[in-house]
């Protein structure tokens, strides 16, 4: 009986994830206007050069997408390292539904997807003992982004 209940719950989550991915696909393919901005945060004394690109889609007073893309170069002891990171938040009815994160450093690329239902973590692809904390942090970040952009 317990196995049947667990299978049913997993099936419902799988269906919800598919629905979320369909909403995200529609947002990605939309022709809604995108607002962009950038911030340069160079700190030569620390050997850091960093440019952040921000973009957002807002339609009918609803945030649909927010992206934070960071291109950073660090020089430490004469060794230069380049790192690119991105966090893309997708919203439905001003609630986060998915966050896509990636990072590229040297030849190492990480991709992580976070799914949410009613602002609560539903599923994520990160396998780590800190994943649940990160999932909740992203909810908090998504709410802060909403407050800043929809004042």
**pLDDT greater at residue 7 or residue 47:** 47
pLDDT band for position 12 (cuts 50, 70, 90): low
Residues in the chain: 151
Give the whole-angstrom CA distance, residue 76 versus residue 109. Answer: 21
**What is the C-alpha end-to-end distance of the chain, expressed in Å?**
49
Other Cβ atoms within 10 Å of 21 Cβ, number: 15
pLDDT band for position 151 (cuts 50, 70, 90): confident
pLDDT band for position 7 (cuts 50, 70, 90): very low
Residue pair 131/110 in contact (Cβ under 8 Å)? The answer is no
| pLDDT over threshold 90, residue 77 | no
């Amino acid at each position: 009986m317990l196995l049947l209940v667990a299978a049913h719950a997993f099936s419902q989550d799988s269906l919800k994830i598919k629905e979320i991915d369909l909403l995200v696909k529609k947002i990605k393919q939309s022709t809604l206007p995108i607002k962009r901005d950038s911030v340069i945060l160079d700190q030569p004394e620390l050997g850091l050069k960093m440019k952040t690109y921000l973009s957002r889609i807002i339609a009918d007073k609803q945030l649909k997408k927010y992206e934070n893309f960071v291109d950073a170069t660090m020089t430490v002891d004469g060794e230069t390292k380049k790192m690119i990171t991105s966090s893309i938040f997708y919203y439905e009815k001003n609630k986060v539904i998915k966050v896509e994160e990636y990072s590229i450093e040297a030849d190492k690329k990480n991709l992580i997807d976070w799914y949410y239902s009613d602002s609560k973590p539903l599923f994520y692809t990160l396998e780590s003992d800190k994943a649940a904390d990160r999932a909740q942090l992203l909810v908090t970040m998504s709410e802060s982004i909403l407050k800043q952009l929809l004042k």
